[in-house]
Amino acid sequence: MSAIDDLATELSRLPGIGRKTALRLTYHLLRQPADQTKRLASALLTLGERVRPCGRCFNLTEEELCSICRDPRRDASVVCVVEQASDIGAIERAGEYRGVYHVLGGRLSPLDGMGPDDLTVGPLLERLRGNQTEAEGVHEVILATNPSLEGEATALYVQGQIAPLGIAVSRIARGLPVGGDLEYADGVTIAQALAARRAM
């Protein structure tokens, strides 16, 4: 394997990048000044070294707690549960939500070998039981998993786990396209889906 093949192979593993685009990017990198390529390489390394899951909500951060968990203006009594940290960005862009989050780290997907133990449901339940330093306690959990079959199954599972705690659980409305990804939905759609959430 040549260096060119190596890089093209790694790039083609990225979402939305086919073999052809990967090769084009590789040749582009070869043509640009060496120090620019070095900056890209070091940014990639730093990303892997510094970014880690938030100790409370599993959002990505370079600190112990993420910027949302550290923000005293956020309403810690409402927790929005999402599949991936990237979903938080989508909801934040909508600009309506003032609560906090919990990142599951995926969705239930037997075909991909994703079971309940692969998700952060345990830490979520611990958090809701008040083992964390959230003074006021959580009074609502909004399940914002994707509107796909697996996302729905995941929402149902999480709801079943939370039910014994007596905390209100709601599900975002179906304004979102079925089978779509929260990450790619526009802000207005997400804001409407949140506003029209229903109790589970």
Q: Which residues bind Zn ion (CB under 5 A)?
A: 54, 56-57, 59, 66, 69
Question: Considering beta carbons, is residue 99 or 151 the nearer one to Zn ion?
Answer: 99
Helices (H), the chain: 3-11, 19-31, 34-50, 67-70, 85-94, 121-128, 149-162, 187-195
Beta bridge partners of 140: 78, 168
d(CA 28, CA 187): 33
- How far from 103 is each of 6, 25, 41, 71, 127, CA to CA, in Å? 32, 32, 28, 17, 12
Q: How far is the CB of 96 from Zn ion (least distance, A)?
A: 19
Question: Considering beta carbons, is residue 66 or 80 the nearer one to Zn ion?
Answer: 66
Q: How far is the CB of 68 from Zn ion (least distance, A)?
A: 5
Question: Considering beta carbons, is residue 66 or 90 the nearer one to Zn ion?
Answer: 66
Strand 60-61 to 52-53 pairing: antiparallel
Query: In degrees rounded to 5, what are phi and psi of residue 72?
Result: -70, -15
Q: How far is the CB of 192 from Zn ion (least distance, A)?
A: 25
Q: How far is the CB of 88 from Zn ion (least distance, A)?
A: 9
d(CA 70, CA 101): 12
Question: Considering beta carbons, is residue 11 or 182 the nearer one to Zn ion?
Answer: 182
Q: How far is the CB of 145 from Zn ion (least distance, A)?
A: 18
Question: Considering beta carbons, is residue 54 or 169 the nearer one to Zn ion?
Answer: 54
